[in-house]
Amino acid sequence: MVNSTVEKLSPTRVKLHITVSPEELKPSIAHAYEHIAQDVQIPGFRKGKVPAPIIDQRIGRGAVIEHAVNEGLDGFYRQAVEDQELRVIGRPSAEIVELPELKDYSGDLVVDVEVDVRPEFDLPAYDTITVTVDAVETDDAAVDAELDRLRARFGTLVTVDRPAAKGDFVELDLVATIDGAEIDRAEGVSYEVGSGELLEGIDEAIDSLTADEQTTFRSKLVGGDHAGEEAEVSVTITAVKERELPEADDDFAQMASEFDTLEELRASLAERVSEQSVFTQGAAARDKFVEALLEAVEIPVPPQLIEDEVHNHLEGENRLDDDVHRAEVTEASEKQFRTQMVLDKIAEDADVQVSQDELTQYLIQSAAQYGMAPQDFVNALQQGNQLPAMVGEVARNKALAIALGKVTVVDTNGKPVDLTGFVAVEGEEPTDAEDEVVEEAQEIADAAADADAVVEAEEAPVEEAPKKAPAKKRAPAKKKAADSE
């Protein structure tokens, strides 16, 4: 049998002491003989039919033990995690303390595994928290602004003979040079003055210029072979155009909407403004609620987990020696970890379940954000075994919305904010087993493709650390450990 005890090393790290009896290790030893028989070639024996005594003689029982431990260690670790009801979050490392006797495989396999675990903490009662968000006006001025945005969508550009101003559209010819050599050219570029969407400094350069006037300015290039380099840019305005808006009347309402009158259109826009204000205030309230929870509780951070994450991040940027950036990334990673722990705790306390409809909606929205067809998005998630993580993300978002419904939210004027419609309700139907989640997600993706329209990752397998006793031979890790549970 497999016995285990747990020793708490810190608020975020434990050591599992795992003892595996000879009987429990026996299947792994038998399997090791089978694998080795398949891999070795010994004259007089067919491949896969080499008897165990011959393997002992030619290969050695040490190799058999190593293979058996390597194969069984991950399963023994997982069983110990389950028996001790641990919630691991990091990459485990193992140390082989004792191996069975080589002469007859008697004696126990003893392994110590250290791993980071989720810290324990309690959240304050949500109804004791008050967050303040900016006031949002939904008066006539807000409706007028929304109406003007709608009119702009139906506006026409008219060439004018005057200097360019913010909001105008100009046609530009651009030539970029570095050290006198032309490295890029573009002609007939349409650009909205003041949008800041082309090159840094261009708005200041062309402000007040008229058609056929030219100027130069210096700017960092944002694309091409010289992206990030500073160049001298020559810009010539070939035309200045202003947007002429249609009259706000009943005819416009009929052209731009399903309504017959401007009054009906304005009423619809007022509802839209109100809905947008709820979303804006709800998003702000959600962020401030999480910040309030982070300030209210002390959440220990596992140093090794953060250090590994920061190292990988800096290595990917080739900035391992940048101490200033390392400090910035470390601070951000620690906050991200605490935030993740808070969201998981909220979901756990609320016993949040994810319905099929909720997962489906999240998958479709996520696919759109990545600019992918739902079919391709689901396939990519399945290949990366990321569907369980998506279920977890939906659960966290849902739990946060439920908790937000119990928080007092006021605006900067002291007025209570009604977030009905933004917050979630408890008691949704739980999702099916994971294989059915995959099947459902695939069906949704297939349907979306036909219309032209992916919880946590698996627990990390054991990554072994060097043994204490040099006389013992350790079993190599079976595969690279995952980053988190």
Q: Which residues pair with 96 in a beta bridge?
A: 111
Q: Which pLDDT band, with edges at 50, 70 and 90, does 430 fall under?
A: very low
Instruction: Report the run of H or E that residue 37 belongs to, with start and end.
Output: helix 22-39
Q: Which residue has the higher pLDDT, 43 or 96?
A: 96
From CA 15, how far away is CA 114, in angstroms rounded? Answer: 4
Percent of the chain with pLDDT over 90: 57
Q: Provide φ and ψ at 218, rounded to 5°.
A: -105, 140
- 3-class secondary-structure state, position 24: helix
pLDDT number for residue 327: 95
Average pLDDT over residues 161-189: 93
pLDDT at 473: 33
Report CA Rg, the chain.
Answer: 32
Residue 465 has pLDDT above 50, yes or no: no
What DSSP assignment string belongs to 180-241? TEEEEEEEEEEEETT---S-TTHHHHHTT--TT-EEEEEEE--SSTTTT-EEEEEEEEEEEE
30: left (phi over 0), alpha (psi -120 to 50) or beta: alpha
Q: How far apart are CA 37 and CA 30, in angstroms?
A: 11
CATH topology of domain 156-244: Chitinase A; domain 3 (3.10.50)
pLDDT at 303: 93
* 232-243 pLDDT per residue, tens: 999 999 999 999
Of the two residues 217 and 389, the one the predictor is more confident about is: 217
Compute the average pLDDT of residues 51-78.
Answer: 90
Mean pLDDT, range 51-71, rounded to an integer: 88
Instruction: Let me know the angle formed at the C-alpha of 284 by 282 and 289, rounded to the nearest 5 degrees.
Output: 90
- The H helix count followed by the E strand count for the chain is 13, 12
Task: Quote the tokens at residue 150.
Answer: 């709608």
**For the CA atoms of 39, 41, 45, 49, what is the dihedral angle to 10 degrees?**
0
Q: Residue 315: its pLDDT value, please?
A: 93
Quote the mean pLDDT of the chain: 85
* Distance in angstroms (rounded) separating the CA atoms of residues 72 and 354: 34
Consecutive H or E run containing 244: strand 230-244
pLDDT digits (tens, 9 = 90+) for 309-366: 999 999 998 999 999 999 999 999 999 999 999 999 999 998 888 888 888 889 999 9
- pLDDT (0 to 100) of residue 54: 87
- Between 294 and 37, the higher pLDDT residue: 294
pLDDT digits (tens, 9 = 90+) for 144-153: 999 999 998 9
Helix (H) or strand (E) holding 109: strand 109-116
- Region 407-429: mean pLDDT is 78
**15: CB partners within 8 A, 6+ apart:** 6, 7, 9, 112, 113, 114
Q: 164: Cβ–Cβ under 8 A, 6 or more apart, which residues? A: 170, 193, 206, 207, 208, 209, 210, 237, 240
pLDDT at 439 over 60: no
State the DSSP string of 272-332. Answer: HHHHHHHHHHHHHHHHHHHHHHHHHS-----HHHHHHHHHHHHHHTT-TT-HHHHHHHHHH
- Which SS3 state, helix, strand or coil, does residue 393 take? helix
Q: Which residues pair with 19 in a beta bridge?
A: 3, 110
Question: Strand pairing of 230-244 and 169-178?
Answer: antiparallel
**Residue of higher predicted confidence among 472 and 31:** 31
**CA atoms within 13 Å, Cβ hemisphere of 357:** 2
In the predicted model, is pLDDT for residue 4 greater than 50? yes
| φ and ψ at residue 292, rounded to 5 degrees | -65, -40
CB atoms within 10 A of CB 17: 15
426 has a pLDDT exceeding 60: no
Identify the residue with better confidence: 485 or 270. Answer: 270
Mean pLDDT, range 249-258, rounded to an integer: 94
SS3 percent helix, strand, coil of the chain, rounded to 5, is 45, 20, 35
Indicate the pTM of the whole model: 0.65
pLDDT at 281 over 80: yes
Encode 186-217: b = buried (16+ Cβ within 10 Å), e = exposed: eeeeebbbeeeebbeebbebbeebebeeeeeb
CATH tag for 2-116 (out of 3.30.70.1050, 3.90.1150.30, 1.10.3720.10, 3.30.300.20) = 3.30.70.1050
Contact call for residues 457 and 48 (beta carbons, < 8 A): no
Average the pLDDT over 380-404 and give the result. 89
pLDDT in tens, 165-176: 998 999 999 999
pLDDT value of residue 424 = 62
Q: Which two tokens stand for residue 228?
A: 């990030």
- Kind plus residue range of the DSSP H or E element containing 7: strand 2-10
Q: Which residues are within 8 A (CB) of 348 and not within 5 positions of it... i.e. 6 or more apart?
A: none
Fold of 126-130+268-450: Trigger factor, domain 2 (1.10.3120)
Length of the chain: 485
Q: Are 362 and 377 in contact (CB under 8 A)?
A: no
Q: Where are the domains of the chain?
A: 2-116, 126-130+268-450, 156-244
